[in-house]
Amino acid sequence: MKTISTFIAALCITLFSLQSFGSIPTDLPGDVTGVSGKVVDKNTGESLAGATVLVKGTNIRAYTDLDGNFSISNLEPGTYDLEISYISYQQTELAAVKASAGEKLNLEIAILPE
């Protein structure tokens, strides 16, 4: 059991190191796309950790990290509606977000407190 735990820890460290130093390609192939960005408080500009970004009409969602950043990958090119929700904030919808093949859209989404 200890050997398995050591192996898993070493594997995680290796994968993190490869990603940090750019050895794992981050470009998207031409037939998929993605959306990333940051969710902030519209009044203060403060980052919102733990907000939900949902691609409406799908089960695809992402949660913001401690800096308010999120990333959704492997979407088919097209137009999507995004729904952003966070406790004590107004639910916000971004309609007709166009995601083009081979490109990753980067958004800053500002939402209002209730």
Q: 0.85 exceeded by the pTM?
A: no
The CA R_g of the chain, rounded to the nearest whole Å, is 17
Q: Which residues contact 31 (CB under 8 A, 6 or more apart)?
A: 76, 77, 101, 102
pLDDT more than 90, % of the chain? 55
Q: How far is 6 from 33, CA to CA, in rounded Å?
A: 36
Domain regions of the chain by residue span: 31-111
pLDDT digits (tens, 9 = 90+) for 8-57: 544 445 444 444 444 444 444 456 788 999 999 999 999 999 999 999 99
Cα separation values, 10 from 1, 19, 22, 28, 103, Å: 14, 14, 18, 27, 32
Superfamily of domain 31-111, CATH level 4: Carboxypeptidase-like, regulatory domain (2.60.40.1120)
DSSP calls for 19-84: HHTT-S--PPPTT-EEEEEEEEETTT--B-TT-EEEETTSS-EEE--TTSEEEEEEEPSEEEEEEE
pLDDT, residue 1, reads 52
Q: Which residue has the tokens 């990290």?
A: 65
pLDDT, residue 63, reads 97
